[in-house]
Amino acid sequence: MLTIALSKGRILEQTLPLLKKAGLEIADDELNSRKLILDTNLDDVKVIIIRATDVPVFVQHGAADMGIAGKDVLLEHGANNLFEVLDLGIAKCKLMVAAKSSDHLNENTLKVATKYVNSAKRYFEKQGQSCEIIKLYGAMELAPVVGLSHCIVDLVDTGNTLKANGLIPLDHIEDISSRLVINSASFKTKNTQIKTWISAIENNL
């Protein structure tokens, strides 16, 4: 049995067609059910659909053999016990620093609102910029507007969300897309099966 962990939300929409091309299908009534473990068209493959940030956790602990998660989530989580084997090129965006203007980055200690605490810390450390990270779980764009922070670190796609809140993208931290990850123990014990799936997905990208 092979268990695949998928991120619900925007990544899922782009993942399902990709898996279908590789030969794995989940029926609509399974997807629309309240079940957490979904059957597929194949007897030896099950799928779990969980929050994006939980995917590396399930894969790391071997509760799922494979998973699909955003690079943003993987960078934040760290890569213990899992291999990132494929860039799927879906759910693309950029991790960026944004503020009301570049003047707002001229601070001795920069106040940064973000849910990407580790990535933000790493980035500003590399820049030699001292910073204070304010952890938020959503609506990052609000922080500079109400004076909670000087800037934010968040994902940017079209830039419309920043624009709507009077913010501009300033520094580019990382290009983000979704990645296929494999539990390191599963990669050994289920090597043939997993390699077949990696090739099937890769050949249909």
Q: Which is nearer to ligand PRT, 24 or 176 (CB)?
A: 176
Single out the residue of 32, 160, 192, 203 in contact with ligand PRT (rule: CB under 6 A): 160
Q: DSSP assignment of 70-112, as one string?
A: EHHHHHHH--TTEEEEEE---S-EEEEEEESSGGGG--SEEEE
- Token look-up 């779990």 returns 48
**Spatial separation of the C-alpha atoms in residues 152 and 132, rounded to whole Å:** 11
Closer Cβ to ligand PRT, 145 or 185, answer by number: 145
Among 155, 168, 170, 200, binds ligand PRT (CB under 6 A): 155
Q: Report, in Å, the least distance between residue 82 CB and ligand PRT.
A: 16
180 binds ligand PRT (CB under 6 A): no
**Residue 128 beta carbon to ligand PRT: minimum distance, rounded to whole angstroms:** 27
Write the DSSP symbol of residue 35.
Answer: -
65 binds ligand PRT (CB under 6 A): no
Q: How far is the CB of 203 from ligand PRT (least distance, A)?
A: 23
Which amino acid, residue 110? Answer: L
Sequence-distant (≥ 6) Cβ neighbours of residue 168 within 8 angstroms: 98, 99, 100, 101, 102, 162
C-alpha–C-alpha distance, residues 64 and 48, integer Å? 8
By the rule CB under 6 A, 11 interacts with ligand PRT: yes
Nearer Cβ to ligand PRT (160/203): 160
**Segment contacting ligand PRT by CB under 6 A, of 6-14, 102-110, 123-131, 145-153:** 6-14
Nearer to ligand PRT, 80 or 158 (CB): 158
Which residues contact residue 78 at a Cβ distance below 8 angstroms, ignoring those fewer than 6 apart?
118
